[in-house]
Chains A and B, each alone.
Chain A
Amino acid sequence: MSKLSVASSPHHHNGRDTGAVMRIVMLACIPGMLAQVWFFGYGVLIQALICISAAVLAEIAIVELRKKNTERIIKDYSAALAGLLLAISIPPLAPWWIAVIGSVFAIVIVKQLYGGLGYNMFNPAMAAYVMLLISFPVQMTSWLPPTTLTEQSFSLWDAIHTIFTGYTSNGYSVEQLRAGVDGITMATPLDHMKTELLQGFTVQEAITADIFNGSNGIGWTQVAIAYLIGGVVLIKAKVINWHIPISMIIGALITASILYMIDSSLFGSPWLHLINGSLIMGAFFIATDPVSAATTNKGRIIFGALIGIWIILIRAWGNYPDAVAFAVILMNMAVPLIDYYTKPRTYGHKVKK
């Protein structure tokens, strides 16, 4: 008999490795992305391609430089997922270089410079998003209105053309595309509300705009629901725990409710906050990033709830219309502290006083 191989127990594994986890998360993004395509055009698909390619290439380059096992690291799909998450966060028609800069920043600066997967303190996609938002505010807020409201029809070729040249094949600029039937530039619902509120209008006046359908942003509602479906799949597949998304949504809802009760003309309704912007997507796909989130169950609840609270507070008083990225990054910094104070009681130990 040849040499017997020896190893430490367990000799068994459930067969789900990091790559499998990341692939499931990417698959769970599909419903949301499809909804985005339906309501906001093909841009998101192009962005996904650009971001994933850029992220993976950046990862390969760095990993080669660090002389690690490149194949093994690429196969953990973490770079691809970071790229994808960035792609679904940025405006679908943002110029290609936005996507590339963001992806490279996410991988090189936020992830690899901190030591690679598992060592990064911040969520790479969100850190990149924040960087882009601060550096290129115009491009990063140039969201198209839902296709049902735009004047121009918009094809896949138009999307590619716009992303790479800034103009559609017919020569329309993004600004022109954003114009509604009435010729007024349209923004995202939250953006619109922010602008209106700053100009002294009330929430009730703001949501009369075309992009709102009652209080629901057209398209945004459906996209949120699609991401919710993906998120539920993730929880069912035991890829993520329910703690962070649920506590985050509840935290946001409670904060929004309190503000709404205080002054309903200055603060949007909880419902409005819930389905507009990237709250749902963030709750299931962003805040649950394992590397940068809290790791104990109690800690996850605190982490999620505080993100929810921050989102509403920043939306209410901050300069930016949406706040998921900021809130997540803020709470990433609090993770070590949260983890330290939420250690679970070990079997056979008494509760520490």
Chain B
Amino acid sequence: MTFTLLAILAFAILALCFGALLGYAAIKFKVQSDPLVDQIDQILPQTQCGQCGYPGCRPYAEAIANGDEINKCPPGGDATIKELADLMGVDAKPLDAAHGIEDVKKVAYIREDECIGCTKCIQACPVDAILGAAKHMHTVIIDECTGCDLCVDPCPVDCIDMVPLASSSQTWQWNFENMTVGDIPVKQV
């Protein structure tokens, strides 16, 4: 009997010790990291386009943190999905086509002589990238434009186009395969 008690006591003490040790370690070696939502928000492309069905990237980040699917972001595309999958510890899925397809980077362009100065696009722009005032022509600050598409629909005179960003030799990514001239004989495995 005493032997049993002794054993229980010994294990109890051990458990206490290890518990204390673990608790101490948890405090001492705590890994400081951003809250999950912030980390997800970091990965999202911040176009604020709402194609995911949420009003902006942060709301979608919150939704993902609460268990929503990670494949609803067309501007981010597969790269974003992959990063999100790594972060969330789930499998990467193909982009959900219901929310759109991955496209080349575009920016909004206002055909200025057609603009009537209604300010509707200014109100729609999630990042304040459109400049103008009532009854004055508007223009897009290209550097700030995220290509979210949200200004196109509100325009009553349909004078906003989404144009692909021109590629220059500075931003060229050595993709010989897409060259208009010349041909590349080397095949990479």
Which A residues are within 8 Å of any B CB, using their own CB? 3-8
Q: Does B3 contact A (CB under 8 A)?
A: no
Render B88-117 as a binary contact track against A, CB cut-off 8 A, 1 for contact: 000000000000000000000000000000
Minimum distance in angstroms from B180 CB to a CB of chain A: 11
- Inter-subunit contact B185/A7 (CB<8 Å): yes
Q: Does B176 contact A (CB under 8 A)?
A: yes
Complex Cα distance, B56 from A195, in Å, reads 78
Residues on B with beta carbons closer than 8 Å to the beta carbon of A4: 181-183
A-B contact pairs, 21 of them (CB 8 A): A3-B181, A3-B182, A3-B183, A4-B181, A4-B182, A4-B183, A5-B182, A5-B183, A5-B184, A5-B185, A6-B176, A6-B179, A6-B182, A6-B183, A6-B184, A7-B176, A7-B184, A7-B185, A7-B186, A8-B174, A8-B176
Minimum distance in angstroms from B109 CB to a CB of chain A: 32
| SS of B interface (majority) | loop
Complex Cα distance, B185 from A7, in Å, reads 8
Q: Which residue of A lies closest to B179 (CB)?
A: A6
Residues on A with beta carbons closer than 8 Å to the beta carbon of B184: 5-7
Residues on A with beta carbons closer than 8 Å to the beta carbon of B182: 3-6
Minimum distance in angstroms from A78 CB to a CB of chain B: 15
The range of chain B's interface size is under 10
Minimum distance in angstroms from A49 CB to a CB of chain B: 32
Residues on B with beta carbons closer than 8 Å to the beta carbon of A5: 182-185
Residues on B with beta carbons closer than 8 Å to the beta carbon of A3: 181-183
Complex Cα distance, B183 from A8, in Å, reads 12
Minimum distance in angstroms from B187 CB to a CB of chain A: 10
- Chain B, range 80-94, C-beta contacts under 8 Å to A: none
Complex Cα distance, B183 from A4, in Å, reads 7
- The residue among A3, A4, A5 with the most chain B CB atoms within 10 A of its own CB is A5
Residues on B with beta carbons closer than 8 Å to the beta carbon of A7: 176, 184-186
- Chain B, range 147-189, C-beta contacts under 8 Å to A: 174, 176, 179, 181-186
Complex Cα distance, B182 from A4, in Å, reads 5
Minimum distance in angstroms from A18 CB to a CB of chain B: 13
Minimum distance in angstroms from B50 CB to a CB of chain A: 40
Residues on A with beta carbons closer than 8 Å to the beta carbon of B181: 3-4
Residues on A with beta carbons closer than 8 Å to the beta carbon of B176: 6-8
Complex Cα distance, B176 from A5, in Å, reads 10
Complex Cα distance, B182 from A8, in Å, reads 12
Residues on A with beta carbons closer than 8 Å to the beta carbon of B183: 3-6
Q: Which residue of A lies closest to B183 (CB)?
A: A3
Residues on A with beta carbons closer than 8 Å to the beta carbon of B186: 7
6 shortest interchain CB distances as A-B pairs: A6-B182, A4-B182, A3-B183, A5-B185, A6-B184, A6-B176
Q: Which residue of B lies closest to A8 (CB)?
A: B174
Complex Cα distance, B182 from A7, in Å, reads 9
Complex Cα distance, B184 from A3, in Å, reads 10
Complex Cα distance, B184 from A7, in Å, reads 6
Complex Cα distance, B176 from A247, in Å, reads 45
* Additional 15 contacts, C-beta under 8 A, given A6-B176, A7-B185: A3-B181, A4-B182, A4-B183, A5-B182, A5-B183, A5-B184, A5-B185, A6-B179, A6-B182, A6-B183, A6-B184, A7-B184, A7-B186, A8-B174, A8-B176
